[in-house]
Amino acid sequence: MSDAENTETAAAPAAAPPAPAAAEPTKAKGKAKAPKKAAAPKESKPKAAKPKAKAADHPPTAEMVAAAIKGLGERQGSSLKAIKKYIADNYKVDVDKLAPFIRRYVKTAVTNGGLVQVKGKGANGSFRLPAGAKARPLEVPPQKSPKLPVLQRKLSLLPPRRPRLR
């Protein structure tokens, strides 16, 4: 065989048309489905490390609100608007962006006892620090007494028996 014949026979299989069964999808119940493609092997890319969010330039919301109420020193409590204005002036932050965090802190602090609400409901009204906010010691959980057996606990909860009269 010559070199010309080898190139023709080698090129013929590569240029062969695809099988007619694969090219024409079969109709099943009125809907034609496209032939499935062979899944290409996925290349594993090394994951780039996400940059960590930088720490905020301001203290936590709780500290800012407490400092605002102390700094304003109003007898009837400080309004949410006054607290936001104080924070904007002293901490150089965008109060519009911090507004939902301030409102949420005020609501939770009122329910937890961190703030006292003088007027209003929710995050509206006036707020002040509780009387004992100056020095709040850590609460130590009380020690539990050793558990009694179930029967003894039930008997200890019952009222004492009265003697029968005959």
- Core vs surface per residue 40-50: b (16+ CB within 10 A) or e: eeeeeeeeeee
Q: What is the pTM of this model?
A: 0.48
SS3 79: strand
pLDDT of 103-130, one tens digit each? 999 999 889 888 888 888 888 889 988 8
Burial (Cβ within 10 Å: 0-12, 13-18, ≥19) of residue 142: exposed
User: Which of residues 148 and 34 earns the better pLDDT score?
Assistant: 34
CA 76, CA 152: separation in Å to the nearest integer? 53
CA 95, CA 72: separation in Å to the nearest integer? 17
Which pLDDT score is estimated for 121? Answer: 87
Length of the chain: 166
pLDDT of 34-76, one tens digit each? 666 666 666 666 666 667 766 667 788 888 898 999 998 888 8
Chain centre to alpha carbon of residue 4: 71
Q: Which domains does the chain have, with CATH numbers?
A: 61-128 (1.10.10.10)
